[in-house]
Structure 1
Amino acid sequence: VAADWDDLVDGALAASISINEHGEPTVDSVWTNTDSSGASASVLDCNAWTLNGLNIVALHGKAGASGEQWTLVGDVASCSDKKRLYCLEQPQNGG
């Protein structure tokens, strides 16, 4: 997917994340609220991922995408939708 943090957030993955936690292929939407640089994209995050109401929305990405859409498709989805969650963290040492 990426060699290091800089490679992860350069706008394109070396390979898409297209396998779920069970080893099965997936191209579903995923919760991220992160842009391709690794920064928070907005406050649209289902209230810090704690609410799931129909009228609450969040930004999402697309499993299987290797361009910028892997973290941010560009529209919102209802927080009542069931999606996997990508959690990204830059290590303290920067690598």
Structure 2
Amino acid sequence: MTFAKDKTQAKNYLAVIHELANYVSGSSTGRILECLSVLPAHDQESRTSILETNEGKNLPNRLVGIIKIFRIIHSKRQEVHSFYETAMSKYGTINSLTA
């Protein structure tokens, strides 16, 4: 069972690498982010890779480690965007009630 999971994870990382290789300056990053969003963002391995960066002084030198950090950043960005959308929705409701 673990072998199948590892094989799937490897395919997911290869998909990100393939999209990065095909990226042309000025083109959309949507396909890269789409492939990136399939990867886990909150697994123990990712947390360990963040802790090992030592506040940005010791960044990963392997592509997989870099992709993991990008995935975590992308996940946090999506989370902040969700909070922002919720706050703006509540602001709109309050604004319409007090107008």
TM-score, normalisation: structure 2:
0.23
Higher share in strand: 1
Larger RCO, structures 1/2 (Cα 8 Å, 6+ apart): 1
For the pair shown, the structure with the greater C-alpha radius of gyration is 2
